[in-house]
Chains A and B, each alone.
Chain A
Amino acid sequence: MSYLDLNIYEIHQALLDGKVTPLELAKEALSRAKADTNNSFEYISENEALEAVEALKNKDKNNLMWGIPFVIKDNFSTKDIPTTASSNILNGYTPVFSSEVYVRLINAGGIPIGKTTLDELAMGGSGMTGHKGFTYNPYDPSHKHMVGGSSCGSAAATSSNIAPLGIGSDTGDSVRKPASHAGLVGFKPTWGRISRFGLFPFATSLDHVAYFTRSVEDSAITLGLLAGRDDKDMTSSFKPVENYFKNLKPCISGVKVAIIKEILDSISDQYIKETYLKTVDELKAKGAIINYVSMDIRLCKAIFPTYFIISCAEATSNNANLDGIKFGPRYEGSDYQEVMTKARTNGFSELIRRRFILGSYSLLSENQKDVFLRAQKCRRLIVNRVNEILKDNDVIYLPAAPTTAPLFNASADKLSDEYLIADNYLAIGNFAGLPSLTLPLGKKEGLPFGGNITGRAFDEQMVLNFSLGLQEITGLKNLSSKEGK
Chain B
Amino acid sequence: MKPVNKSVLEEAAQKLMFEMDEKQYDTLLEEFHTILSQLELIGEIPGVDEVEPMTFPFDVTNSFLREDVTQKPLDRDVALKNASDVVDGQIRLPKVVG
Contact = CB atoms under 8 A, between A and B. Distances in A.
Contact of A348 (B18, B45, B81): B18
Contacts of A384: 51
A415 B49 CA distance: 23
A326 B83 contact: yes
A304 B39 CA distance: 10
A36 to B, nearest CB: 28
A415 B35 CA distance: 9
B19 interface: yes
Contacts of B43: 370, 374
B55 A415 contact: no
Interface in B2-58: 2, 4, 8-9, 12-13, 15-20, 24, 27-28, 31-32, 34-35, 37-39, 41-49, 51-58
A377 interface: yes
Contacts of B66: 231
User: From DSSP, what is the main secondary structure of chain B's interface residues?
Assistant: loop
Contacts of A479: none
B60 interface: yes
B87 interface: no
B59 to A, nearest CB: 11
B16 to A, nearest CB: 5
Given A336-B94, A357-B16, A457 B58 contact: yes
A377 B83 contact: no
Interface residues of A, number: 74
B45 A344 contact: no
A361 B4 contact: yes
Interface string B70-98: 00001000110111110000010110100
30 contacts: A93-B82, A94-B81, A191-B58, A302-B41, A305-B41, A305-B42, A306-B42, A325-B83, A325-B91, A325-B93, A330-B83, A330-B84, A336-B93, A337-B17, A344-B16, A344-B17, A350-B27, A357-B16, A361-B8, A367-B1, A370-B43, A376-B54, A376-B55, A377-B51, A383-B57, A414-B38, A415-B37, A420-B38, A433-B56, A457-B58
Interface of A: 92-94, 96, 191-192, 205, 231, 234-235, 237, 296, 298-299, 301-302, 304-306, 308-309, 316, 323, 325-330, 333-341, 344-345, 348, 350, 353-354, 356-358, 360-361, 364, 366-367, 370-371, 373-381, 383-384, 414-415, 420, 430-434, 457
Lowest 3 CB-CB distances: which A-B pairs, in order?
A: A433-B57, A376-B53, A327-B82
